[in-house]
Amino acid sequence: MHDIREASKMDTAIHPDYNQTSATGPWFRMDRYAKGFFFCSVYGQLTGASLDFSVYEATDATGSDEVILGAAIAMAQGSKIVEATVLCDTVQVADTVIITPYTFTGQGRLTAGTALTYTAAAAENLSSRAFLNTGDNAAATSLGACINDATYGVPGVLATVDTATVTLTMDEPGDGAFDITESDAATLVVTDIIQQAYFEVAVQDMDCDDDFTHIGARVSGVDATSKFSCVLLRAIAGYQPVGQAVVGYDDAS
């Protein structure tokens, strides 16, 4: 059995960065591969933040004659994320958090479930999805209890609480995502921790007749708080073995 590394090559397409409004990564050759798969991750987006993730083709390793492939992918805060935090900061009665879970259905598509609204109140009531607003730590503990409730909680989402912060993750990592919206970004401070997007390139989709041989990724319109990175997997190599530019390696054998 072949190892994954023997036929697929992984490289950093955009190195981890922040406090940058845009970034373009290196240009990778595709004349020896059949497929390219860019995977972009964003961390730290606050309410209202977004960025665009795009993939381009070029005629050489310096990015000459670059042309966008397909369309830019908008990565907006609170949309189909897999981890987020909610900081409770002087929560007021009637403040709300709305969470919509997504699960995978046919052909691996994310499908939205029911949007669930959790409302701050003077007393906790799990069946009404009401959480305490009396004190930041108490509000976070109560909100976490509401989200984790077996009947009235968010399916597939797990809440863990540390003082005044609720961290939301998936029960089973990689098995879904969720949307999150807060009514007041000052009292319920939502921060995206992991949002992801991908773009796949087939070599036949490139303009090979005009000598477009390289591909690269770009992020633009980035807000100051957001951090980002992107990796590229090139697969179905036309030669073997594939060399990996790494500091070390191991396997489970």
- What's the pLDDT tens digit per position in 47-88? 999 999 999 999 999 999 999 999 999 999 999 999 999 999
Which pLDDT belongs to residue 191?
Answer: 98
Greater confidence (226 vs 4) lies with 226
Confidence bin at 246 (pLDDT 50/70/90) = confident
Ordered by start, the domain boundaries in the chain are: 4-42+49-74+197-237, 90-186
Instruction: For domain 4-42+49-74+197-237, give the CATH number.
Output: 2.60.120.510
Cβ atoms of 81 and 93 closer than 8 Å: no
CA–CA gap between residue 162 and residue 210 (Å, rounded): 56
- Residue that has been written with the tokens 């897999």 in this structure: 82
DSSP three-state, residue 107: helix
Q: Where are the beta strands (DSSP E) in 113-172?
A: 116-121, 130-132, 157-162, 165-170
Which pLDDT belongs to residue 154?
Answer: 98
Please give the mean pLDDT across all residues of the chain. 94
Give the length of the chain.
Answer: 253
Return the structure tokens found at 26.
Answer: 């290196």
- pTM value? 0.90
CB atoms within 10 A of CB 60: 13
CB atoms within 10 A of CB 80: 17
